[in-house]
Amino acid sequence: MRGVAFWFFATAAIYVAIGMVWGIVMSATMDHSLSPAHGHLNLIGWVTMGLFGIYYHNVPEAAETQLAKVHFAIATLGVVLIVPGIVMALRQDGEALAKAGSVLTLISILIFVFTVFRNRAKPA
């Protein structure tokens, strides 16, 4: 695995390592109040980013485009804003960060939808 595929998968692995430590801390302290933020870190950070990594590994022509790099930047910014944004929203400290992260995460998925269709295999 290399290039954008590597970076999607490597950062996803880091997110799940952090997410699991967070889950263990929640269990140990019996404070589950931030569990939606933990869930989103794992599901967007690990599952979604990891799937992007596997996709780009399997479709190298998609990974070699400038759009793939833009996709990685937007998806990464989305995760690093939405997770603390959910923490802030849960603590009633404001929703602006969660909103910004949500929009970036949606843009990331729209780029992915476009990429999947653009790189559809030609009929034999």
- Residues at the site binding ligand HEM, with contacts judged by CB under 6 A: 16, 19-20, 23-24, 26-27, 32, 35-36, 38-39, 42-43, 46-47
> Which C-beta is closer to ligand HEM: that of 36 or that of 60?
36
Cβ contact 81:101 at 8 Å: yes
Q: Which two structure tokens, joined as six digits, stand for 16?
A: 């799940």
| Closest-CA residue to 8 (of 54, 43, 40) | 54
Q: How far is the CB of 42 from ligand HEM (least distance, A)?
A: 3
Question: Phi/psi at 30 (nearest 5 deg)?
Answer: 60, 25
Nearest distance, CB of residue 3 and ligand HEM, angstroms: 25
Instruction: Tell me which residue has its CB nearest to ligand HEM.
Output: 23
How is residue 48 annotated by DSSP? I
CB nearer ligand HEM, residue 50 or residue 76: 50
Smallest separation (angstroms) from ligand HEM to the CB of 117? 27
Which residue, 20 or 100, is less far from ligand HEM as judged by CB? 20
CA dihedral 48, 51, 56, 58 (to 10 degrees): -170
